[in-house]
Structure 1
Amino acid sequence: MSIAGMKGLVDMEGLFISELTNYTKALKDKIDDIESFLQKVQSKREISRKNPQQFVAHPLNAFSLIRRLHEDWTEIELFMSKQVGLNHLEAIKKGLDESQPTDQDLLDATNGIITMQRTYNLQPVDIAKGILGSQKYNVNLTTLNCQLLAKACLILNEDRAAFSYFKTAVEHYDENRDGQVYREVFDFKLSDLYTNYTKILIIKGFRSAALNILRNVSDLDADLWLLQRKVYEEAKIDVPDPTYYTAPWTDKSGCQGLWESKNYFSCYYESGTTDFLRIAPLKVEILSLDPHIAIYHDVIFDSEISGMKNISLPLLKGPLRYLNSDDFNLKFAKIYGEHQSPLNQRIRDITGDNVKEDKDFLIFNYGMCGFKNYHFDNIELQDQTAELGDRLTSIKFFLNDVTEGGALVFPHLNLTIWPQKGSAVVWQNLNNEMDANEDIIHLSCPVIVGSKWTLSKWLHQNPLMFSKPCKKV
């Protein structure tokens, strides 16, 4: 559920590779020993088979033959039946039992790919080739990957995507590269893939498309040939294949950066909030005046970012899956801060507000295609406390750049903000009457490529009741 958490999977596979390498070496050593023995007995056999009677007539040959058959072949039989590399097998089994990704992890990863595909209008065939967003990456999906995604798309009624993944699975299969391993290790047969693919096409009404595929592959398996005959008979009924129309995902156009770029209202150096800013002003960009949204650049340093990440790594936890479905593939941790810490002092420089009652932070790390759906930062009335009240101000720090995706979007304002390491976005959640501002709804878009770290801080209304004046209207 987080990129930080998934780093352990790389180490785990490294361990498995190491153990499998040692296992194959143990098997090879056993084969070498057997071949060495075989070479010796074959050399004796070459002599004995020419004239067996003359061979055994020599007492030393006869004695050696009796001894070999009585002792050596008994020992080699025991050696052949002896299992080697059991400690390496046990290490792999232990690793799988303790750290193997669960069914839910695989489901999250699959849903992540499908979410990325939907949000950014990506084509499955491009995803399989490693074309994500605006760039081609040196990575692609295997036949097994595409087959799993095709089945997942069918469950989610994404028929068109399922067909595309099935087609890509077939295209990516290479008999010379994959054939033996797929059959012997994964119990995979190409004929089964074609059967599943074409049967789904038939069920969905694409008889002609299924027949065209089967005509070229029916000689692979008798079942495919029988299926071709059945489809051929059904295709005689003059019913054309259906046509799909897929509406574009316009509600996620902000994530794609399709909105017309806005000119910022102003860029300036803030030097009047606190006395310290007279000698070290902050770089500010105003993105919206009503509601007020601004970016403060270079307001958190690399050393602070590293410290936050190191503290949070063992504390990261995921949200409750069913109670908060707006969060997907992300983990978070609470970072306890001191009232007078440099970062809290910097927030006072940014906002001009006292952070004595709101000194703590929440750090987020997004996982594979992780996102936070449309939401407000406000607190439900029943969950507010008399000491704090609602969240008045939101401050979101970007702790790293993101290679592809991961934008912060305000759809009512047609505003897309791309992560910039070291910057902070600041906005007001309440209007002048201290009511929730409906225009401030926002979305953290799915991450395509890269790891996204953010740090959030909320300043509540009640501690600032007498220090933050209302605007004149």
Structure 2
Amino acid sequence: MKTTIVLIAVCGLLEAGQYDYGVFENFQLTQELFRSEVAGLNLIKDILERLKEIQLKLEGQIVSKNAFQTLRTYKKTLRELTRSQPIENDFITSAKGLLMILDTYNVSKDCLTKKEFVYSDPHRGRVSLKTHATFEPHDLMTLADEATQIGWFSHAIDLTKSAYANLNVKSLQKDQKQVMEDFKSRLVRTHNNILRSKKRLVGEGYKVLPYLVTDDLKRKPTQPKFVKKLDPSKREHKFEANEQLDINEDIFRRICRGQIVGQAVKNQTKYQKCHWLHQNNPYLRLNPFKIEILLNDPFRMIFHEILNEEEMNWLIQYSTPNLSQARKVSKTNLEVNRVGLPEEQKRKIVHKTVQCWIDDVIYNEEANLKKNKDGIFEVQPYLGDQYAHVIFNQTLHKLSKKIQMATNMIITQRWSSTKYQVTNYGLGGLCETHVDPFGIWEGAEVHEEMKEIHSTGDMFATFMAWLGNVPGGGYTAFNHEGYEQAVVPVRGSAAFWFNLRSDMKREPRSSHGGCPVLAGSKWILNKWIMANDQFHNFKCTQEKNVTYPPYKDFY
């Protein structure tokens, strides 16, 4: 039963023949799964079962000195053989990932058995994607069971209802039918009890429908009065502290499907959005950039067609064999729960696993930074010219100059911006919500891994470009209340926004995350522009809560 689930979870969203094995974190395993499908997984399971039988037989024998050594060697070999093979937890994780996609995009459960995915898109409404795989009733029941394990009873009910609609109940054996009826009965009872007691749709460890259901999973004709006040399109404001994580994640997914749009974003549609940006530069007056203003305050915009084909192709070709799969645990993140560390000093760094960092220039002499008595990392004297460098790639270096001209910011100096970061997200890939800057002017404790930040300043602005279109999902969603917005990825274009206010404090309304990829894969290019070199064109002030104005030099 669970064999089919993992295949649907990772490959059922696209037409056959459109797979790109290289976009997944475990290239080899994914390629094997796609090639062999169910037969391959069954073979692996059979091998594992046979190996376990042999192990039990060996353990049951009289243990001599030689037999003991043989058993140790066997166990070591078994671990090596099975380390990269699918295990029960892989099926569970795949099911949870699929449930997350179903929830994020409000996927129609009734269409899962019809070789199509019908889902909600923030800009296109209800969209249908053709698939090559279908869900059988037992797959739907397996998913429903996993949904109950994580408390998503609303999805468990929809999946169970769809399973019954596509199942010939008369063909079931008596004990099979009884198992399904018992599951359905427990599900209805649990769901209705939670809704009656909590009187809300989402909380710590639960998600329910906005109405009570009958024994046959339909909406009850008579509902309590509080049900009328439940509105899935609005944010929850009254909740316990332990419920905040579940509610915030649910809000983010609702932004990803376009169910929540901030009032400031709605108001922005009253103004002209598209312009030709020239930054009062004589060259750009003849060759301006295409821009689309998403929001004036805080400033959020799109550079359309800013990357050309040569740049995008080179970035993907160079990055593909160099994508890191390491799961780094930052020392900064380990400090989050440290007893005694003040809240204003705690930070969490969001790490992306499938990424590649690229320099456009390489400096001849590496910077030497040491912490002084005040805890500040200072640059030690250089032996030669600290700015002497070689150009690593002319295409990338020209791109840096282009971004510098477009943003009117300094990014080509040594401390003015980060390296380029190319990140790839496969099916279901997402990025949790966060703000980019570290908050060094708010008292954040700086560890060795972030030592250059005292020389660069904090992340002043973000330039995030898309290296390809995404067939489904993969939006960038801003989640601060009142400013919610889902931005569609468009090949060759780039989102741009300010991360700091004029007093160098973090702009909380820049909080954003990456929505799950529903179909295909997502390639993005990031470059963070650092604060210390921007003071000439962007003055800092001591006045609080002052945002930098939007660009105004355009046609």
Q: TM-score range by the shorter chain?
A: 0.5 to 0.7
Q: Which residue of 2 aligns with 1:337?
A: 360
* Contact 2:422 2:524 (8 Å CA) reproduced: yes
Q: Which residue of 2 aligns with 1:387?
A: 455
In 2, Cα distance between the equivalents of 1:326 and 1:199?
A: 45
Q: Which residue of 2 aligns with 1:71?
A: none
Q: Does 1:200 align with 2:183?
A: yes
In 2, Cα distance between the equivalents of 1:470 and 1:326?
A: 25
Query: What whole-Å deviation, never above 9, does each CA across 1:64-121 have from its counterpart, x for those lacking one?
Result: xxxxxxxxxxxxxxxxxxxxxxxxxxxxx99985753455543443222222222233
SS of residue paired to 1:137: strand
Superposed displacement of residue 329, structure 1: 9.2
Unpaired segments of 5 or more residues in structure 1?
24-92, 180-188, 208-234
Superposed displacement of residue 165, structure 1: 2.5
Query: What whole-Å deviation, never above 9, does each CA across 1:186-239 have from its counterpart, x for those lacking one?
Result: xxx8666534322222334659xxxxxxxxxxxxxxxxxxxxxxxxxxx9xxxx
In 2, Cα distance between the equivalents of 1:109 and 1:327?
A: 22
Superposed displacement of residue 378, structure 1: 1.4
Alignment of 1:168-207 (within 5 A): 168-169=162-163, 171-172=165-166, 193-204=176-187
* Contact 1:327 1:373 (8 Å CA) reproduced: yes
In 2, Cα distance between the equivalents of 1:164 and 1:170?
A: 10
In 2, Cα distance between the equivalents of 1:102 and 1:336?
A: 39
In 2, Cα distance between the equivalents of 1:243 and 1:151?
A: 26
Is the alpha carbon distance of 1:19 and 1:415 closer, same or farther for their aligned partners in structure 2, counting shifts above 3 Å?
closer
* Contact 2:418 2:528 (8 Å CA) reproduced: no
Alignment of 1:319-358 (within 5 A): 319=327, 331-338=354-361, 341-355=397-411, 356=413, 357=415, 358=417
Q: Does 1:162 align with 2:156?
A: yes
In 2, Cα distance between the equivalents of 1:165 and 1:366?
A: 27
* Contact 2:457 2:531 (8 Å CA) reproduced: yes
Q: Which residue of 1 aligns with 2:312?
A: 305
Alignment of 1:44-443 (within 5 A): 97=82, 99-129=84-114, 130-133=116-119, 134-139=126-131, 140-169=134-163, 171-172=165-166, 193-204=176-187, 248=232, 250=234, 251=251, 252-258=253-259, 259=261, 260=266, 262-272=269-279, 276-314=283-321, 315-317=323-325, 319=327, 331-338=354-361, 341-355=397-411, 356=413, 357=415, 358-380=417-439, 381-383=444-446, 385-411=453-479, 412-443=482-513
Superposed displacement of residue 151, structure 1: 1.9
* Contact 2:306 2:492 (8 Å CA) reproduced: yes
How does the TM-score come out when normalised to structure 2?
0.55
SS of residue paired to 2:292: strand
Unpaired segments of 5 or more residues in structure 2?
1-9, 11-21, 44-77, 120-125, 191-214, 235-250, 335-347, 362-390, 547-555
In 1, Cα distance between the equivalents of 2:353 and 2:320?
A: 13
* Contact 2:408 2:537 (8 Å CA) reproduced: no
RMSD between superposed Cα atoms in Å: 4.2
Which range moved further: 158-167 or 348-357? 158-167
* Contact 2:279 2:408 (8 Å CA) reproduced: no
Q: Which residue of 1 aligns with 2:526?
A: 456
SS of residue paired to 1:287: strand
Bigger-Rg structure (1/2): 1
Query: What whole-Å deviation, never above 9, does each CA across 1:122-159 have from its counterpart, x for those lacking one?
Result: 34334454333123333322345323312210111122
How does the TM-score come out when normalised to structure 1?
0.64
Is the alpha carbon distance of 1:148 and 1:319 closer, same or farther for their aligned partners in structure 2, counting shifts above 3 Å?
farther
Superposed displacement of residue 275, structure 1: 5.4
In 2, Cα distance between the equivalents of 1:298 and 1:205?
A: 52
Q: Aligned residues, how many?
A: 360
Q: Which residue of 2 aligns with 1:34?
A: none
SS of residue paired to 2:306: coil
Structure that is richer in helix per residue: 1
* Contact 1:402 1:449 (8 Å CA) reproduced: yes
